[in-house]
Amino acid sequence: MKLQGIFPALATCFDYDGNLYKAKVLHNTQKLNQVSLTGYVVCGSTGETPLLSVPERLLLMEWVREAAAEEKTLIAGVGAESVHETVEIASRAAALGFHAALVLTPFYYRTQMHTPETQALFFRAVADRSKLPVLLYNIPQVTGYDLPIETIAALSHHPNIIGMKDSSGNLEKLAASVRAVKPGFKVLSGSGAGFSAALQAGASGAILAIANPLPYTCVTIWEAFRAREIEAALDWQSRLAPASRMVASKHGIPGLKHAMDLNGYYGGPPRLPLTPLSPEAKLEIEAAFEGLRG
């Protein structure tokens, strides 16, 4: 499976009544098909997944599968708190034609869940039953739990666990994880503000929210890295980083969606209780994204 290069963590399109907006999902996916992206991640954190029902998640996967170019690798966000539901969503995604499952660390029952032993049991149980190859999803700023390197290394030896998305932003830990896992296990960065450094540290690619409004910029950094034009990669990363930080640390998904609207993609409104940006916040996003079109 091709798990290198740039994957947008797709934003979810809603109309102004809060309903899924199929025409815009198709529009964004078909427009992104024209960029040299490896594939798409559907129903990750950027997709407002906690605000979606399971049938809505499956419908989004169906629409993206319908619109995606044939060569794109499709990764389904199947995160759920139980092994049973996680496996069920992964099975439905497999039937829709997806290629891999992105599995979030369980976190709700923190006292019981936040141990290496329980996390390892969860991922092994999912991987044993999943019809799709599994990617670990480590995003401690959301879950409150940071997978230990030792757990990641042990899980990398499971035959159906093929990689990890690391959104922790901890470059030192990402590099240590790359060194610790078995050969062939892919580590993908989830940090738009610093993924060129992650590539240099051994990441095979990146799954990025910022690739929704700025796919060409993200691919340019990846291509410069592949061509060993490190200075060019760092130059483009320095241009991208302020916009990425503006979204990640200040304006979140509403800010990302406004940036998409600016650059010819459909961002539209977030789903309540997330709210659209104020006029002042929109101006901040517009200033941060100036000169970074498409």
Q: Which residues are catalytic?
A: 165
CA distance linking residue 245 with residue 117, whole number of Å: 34
**Side chain identity at residue 38, one-letter code:** T
- Assess contact for 210 and 243: CB atoms under 8 A: yes
- Assess contact for 11 and 256: CB atoms under 8 A: yes
CA distance linking residue 192 with residue 207, whole number of Å: 8
CA of 33: how far to CAs of 1, 27, 71, 73, 280, in Å?
A: 19, 10, 9, 11, 33
- Select from 50, 52, 42 the least CA-distant residue to 11: 42
* Sequence-separated (6 or more) residues with CB below 8 Å from residue 125: 83
CA distance linking residue 118 with residue 281, whole number of Å: 41
